[in-house]
Amino acid sequence: MTFARERLLVIAPHADDEILGCFGLMNKIKENGGQVYVLVFTLGGYSKVGSGRLQKEQWKKEFLNVVKLLGVDGYDIAYYKDQIEHLDKIKLEFLINKIESKSKIAISKIKPTIVAMPTIFSTHQDHAEVYKATTIALRAHSQKSSHFTKLLLSYEFPDNNFWSPYNEFGRFSPNLYLEMSQKEIEKKALAMNLYKSQIRKDHRDGQEIIALANIRGSEVGSDYAEAYHVHRFLLK
């Protein structure tokens, strides 16, 4: 794969999912001269942190710091001004429309060569809704007249791997790995630590990220790696 020629669209249910799932891929593409776009669906209004409550403006500020660190080419928060408890309260067609055409970085506008979406194997209903909306938006016949994304991936979450309502049917099964260096995994941990509001002791901190990357790396004979599941890959 020639990273310099790629246009990656990362679709994230919440700000921080993009770092947890595919920081390495975003970083690799940007460092090689490609383009990266991040579509976040919601900041959720509020997030419980200890005994206090976090305003979503603070969460947005953290997201913008991450955007700056990565140097992304464009981003959008689909439902920033809306008070939304969970995405399953929104009609699926509205989520699909955001991905297809309504967002300022919609597929029809940036024409990505790669789209990365959350895995369906998640305990969080927002992740499942975004997965469903993305797969529908990226179905082949809907893009024939405009743009066809050649590579469709799903990314994983550290806290959803082994406890999922879908486990009786299967679980996240990687079939693509991205090797990462010590420097790259440390940068990923640094990026996640910018989301101070989302980090709690032993949860989503740098050590958890490094531990998962070490496990995924061991599966392919490397020190560190990110794991993905390929849903479609078109060779021309």
> Which CATH number goes with the domain that contains 117?
3.40.50.10320
What pLDDT score was predicted for residue 11? Answer: 98
Q: Is the dihedral of CA 18, 21, 23, 26 positive or negative?
A: negative
Q: Can you point out the beta strands (E) in the chain?
A: 7-14, 35-42, 46-49, 52-55, 74-77, 114-118, 151-155, 176-180, 224-233
Stretch 129-134: mean pLDDT, rounded? 94
* pLDDT confidence tier of residue 82, bands split at 50, 70 and 90: low
* pLDDT confidence tier of residue 52, bands split at 50, 70 and 90: very low
- Cβ atoms of 61 and 196 within 8 Å: the answer is no
Instruction: Identify the CA nearest to 3 among candidates 19, 23, 25.
Output: 25
Number of domains in the chain: 1
Is 98 a residue whose pLDDT tops 60?
yes
Is 79 a residue whose pLDDT tops 70?
yes
Alpha carbons 46 and 57: distance in angstroms, whole number: 9
* pLDDT confidence tier of residue 159, bands split at 50, 70 and 90: low
Stronger pLDDT, 198 or 114, i.e. the higher one:
114
1-15, 152-166, 206-220, range with the lowest pLDDT: 152-166
- Whole-model pTM over 0.85: yes
Stronger pLDDT, 82 or 186, i.e. the higher one:
186
The tokens describing 95, both together, are: 């989520």
Alpha carbons 160 and 151: distance in angstroms, whole number: 23
The whole domain housing 68 covers 3-233
